[in-house]
Amino acid sequence: MFGISYDSPRTLKKFKTKYRLPFHFLSDYKKEVAQQYGAASLAWPKRMTFIIDKDGRIEKIYNKVNVNTHAEKILDDLLGKK
């Protein structure tokens, strides 16, 4: 699991450390990945989540993300809960 942001690697490392996040971030400062996945916008990427299988195929896309409930929703979906 990882996150992708327009921020620099240094900024992302500080963010991860500050919030003690258990995953890594990738920097998309050129906005190339966001454009390829339809998440690009002018100032910052759209907040989206993609579930990608071990073969690199997209299994599910979450277009609307509520930061307060999103992690729980993804875990429920991955574990087959409703």
* CA atoms within 13 A of residue 53's CA, in its CB half-sphere: 5
CATH code of the domain made up of 2-78: 3.40.30.10
Q: Which amino acid is at 75?
A: L
Please state the pTM of the whole predicted model.
Answer: 0.74
Q: Where do the domains of the chain lie?
A: 2-78
- Calpha distance 19→12 (Å, rounded): 11
Structure tokens at 46: 């759209």
pLDDT digits (tens, 9 = 90+) for 39-62: 998 788 888 999 888 899 999 999
Q: What parts of the chain have a pLDDT lower than 70?
A: 81-82
Identify the pLDDT of residue 78: 84
